[in-house]
Amino acid sequence: MSFPLPTLPVGRVLEVVRAPDPVLSAPGPVVDPADPQVIQLCADLVATMRVSPGCVGLAAPQVGVAGQAFCVDVSSHPKTRTSHGLIVLLNAEVVEASRQDKGREGCMSVPDLTGDVRRASKITVRGQLPGTGEPVVISTDAFEARALQHEIDHCAGLLFLDRVSGAHAIYSRKVYLDPGATPPSTSR
């Protein structure tokens, strides 16, 4: 399955903001799909996601912009069962959701922690495409459903930490090295 994405301009890699930056905890306003700044923001989100190891999604608040825009691409993640490829949505909302499953989540805006979060395992999302404003509906499941819900939460001013059941469900993030990287020295 592939997602119908209009052509975006060349994206710039932006700095990812970290909690407790206030933009991460404020609901973002609805954005205008035809606004050239919104279209460029979408391209920038994709470019920033692509250069960030392990990143499968990024929302406007994570680059310091209050607004309901995000991208997701789980196609190369090992937990992926269903993938629509690169998804870029504006003003998205979950319109249907199934039973909830617990799963571990991390976030570029909370780089040192992961947590167990309950999310719907099957969802239907409605949103708009950048540029055209064309309405789209996506039904998906498993890891892609989790990623979409995570990014929609960012647009609503929520972090995954707001969804964990308590401190017992928060963990220090494991550090993963690039396969070609030299491991850090253990000598003192």
* Residues marked as catalytic: 151
- Cβ atoms within 10 Å of 175's Cβ, excluding its own: 7
Torsion sign, CA atoms 130, 44, 107, 74: positive
Which of these, 145, 96, 94, lies nearest to 118 by C-alpha position?
Answer: 145
